[in-house]
Structure 1
Amino acid sequence: MLMFRDVFAYSDMLLSGLLTSIVLCGLAGFAGFALAIFCAELKRTVPGPASWAVSAYVETIRNTPFIVQLFFIYFGMASLGWRMSPQAAALVALSLNAGAYFTEIIRGGLMDGSRGIREAALAQGMTPLQVYLRIVLPPALAKVDKPLVGQFVLIFLGSAVISQISVEDLTSAAQFVQTRTFRAFETYILVTAMYVSVGLSFSLAYGRIRLALFPWLRELRQ
């Protein structure tokens, strides 16, 4: 443990960086999820230009590196007069990235034979929005919740590059610590453990609350 003593002296900075990473990715996850629900339904039900626009957005994000998307939003948009703080640019980039990947996952869950169920619910007097939120969306999300969680963890891990635009996240803190202590091995071993711990904790925690979110899955297991 003595070899980590110099690194532990900066534990507050590392924990602050980890908190920044978690908060930004959490906010981006919610924003991307909401965007994905809208885009998935738009692509599935509205043919023509709207569907093409969603496809263009999804394919553009999925076929370009995240760091390029980040630089485009932070540096490229600034050259057009739209300047954002590093944190705001990181949040926008993470949200758009998450939205694109979540869109395809959610769209896969929505592709089922639920037309009869929709018609029955509408006949009972429910509005189309109520049918979508109460009848269509929950089982669709239940079918793809694990891929969604896995993708969110990947987005959290990929967020390490936001340090390149001066966001003081965990990776940025690690870079600062290792330049001050000259303990690169110890610093990045500790940071690796922190990333692994958060990723695994999130996956395990969701696994435990999954049945609470979708209680009818218990019946399917029996």
Structure 2
Amino acid sequence: MYDFNFAPVFASSDQLLRGAAVTLELSCEAMAIGLVISIGLAAAKTSKIAPLRWVVQAYIELIRNTPFLVQIFFIFFGLPSIGLRMSPDAAALLALVVNFCAYATEIIRAGIESIAVGQIEAGRALGLKPLQVFRYIILKPALRTVYPALTSQFIYLMLTSSVVSVISAGDLTAAGADVQSRTFASMEVYLVITVVYFLMSAGFSALFGAIERAAFRYPLSR
């Protein structure tokens, strides 16, 4: 029978909490930056400029068909060979943004293409400028349509961020590995980490659900 002993783990709770804070910081920053970039990439993907569409599609295919671990190694270990050196946390953030954008771009693109052409033409007939048409007629309804998929992608991004521990980024998984190496309480450490990840995911799911109910009611608020 295994004798559970959580005392060494709880004694290192400050380190684990700092790691959880880094995980949340990296995930939220990657989500915020990636969402802005993804909107621009989705607009490019749906534009009439063929070379622009090809470049965006090539980027999406490259990122979605290569492992996230390889992407992290390329950014952290590969880019320094051409003079681009970053700290572990900066490299982790860049890798998360690059990975998130490839998926979020396709999600937003699907939302944009779900807008009826008649609505766009009606906006143009009313004299709206192209930017106003994109902002009020295309973007807002598209975001409402893809909101559940984007929030699910964020939670997946947060869980995927555990991989950044391989480059010594100070996230929750890295903190847990350090505690485990000192206490040898493998079962207890990773059980606690599992619970923390679950609580963060459940908390964000509840938060995103509340935001959806408040912000995406009909009609859309401006």
The two structures have a TM-score, normalised by structure 2, of: 0.93
Task: Provide closer, same or farther for how the CA distance between residues 203 and 105 of structure 1 changes in structure 2, counting only shifts above 3 A.
Answer: same
Instruction: Please name the residue that 2:213 is paired with.
Output: 211
Change (3 A) 1:2 1:69: closer
User: Which digits, 9 at most, give the CA deviation of each residue in 1:104-159, with x for residues without a partner?
Assistant: 11111111353222232233332211221122111111111111111111111111
- In the alignment, which residue of structure 1 is the partner of 2:200? 198
8 Å CA contact 1:211–1:217 kept in 2: the answer is: no
CA distance in structure 2 between the aligned counterparts of 1:38 and 1:138, rounded to whole angstroms = 14
**Who is 1:156 aligned against?**
158
Following the alignment from structure 1 to structure 2, what is the Cα–Cα distance between the partners of residues 73 and 209?
A: 34
Report if the CA contact (8 A) 2:88-2:167 is conserved: yes
Task: State the distance in 2 between where 1:205 and 1:112 align.
Answer: 26
Could you tell me how far apart the structure 1 residues matched to 2:168 and 2:58 are? 30
The answer for the alignment partner of 1:140 in structure 2 is: 142
Match of 1:187 among 168, 173, 189: 189
1:43 maps to which residue?
Answer: 45
- Number of residue pairs matched by the alignment: 218
CA deviations 1:78-108 (Å, max 9, x no partner) are 0111111111111111001000000111111
Q: Distance in 1 between matches of 2:168 and 2:29?
A: 19
* Counterpart Cα distance in 2 of 1:65 and 1:127: 41
TM-score (norm 1): 0.93
Q: What residue identity is the alignment partner of 1:25? A: S
Q: Percent identity?
A: 45
RMSD (Å) for aligned C-alpha atoms: 1.6
Counterpart contact for 2:123–2:133, Cα < 8 Å? yes
The one-letter code matched in structure 1 to 2:157 is I
> Structure 2: 5+ residue runs without aligned partners?
none
Unaligned runs of 5+ in 1: none
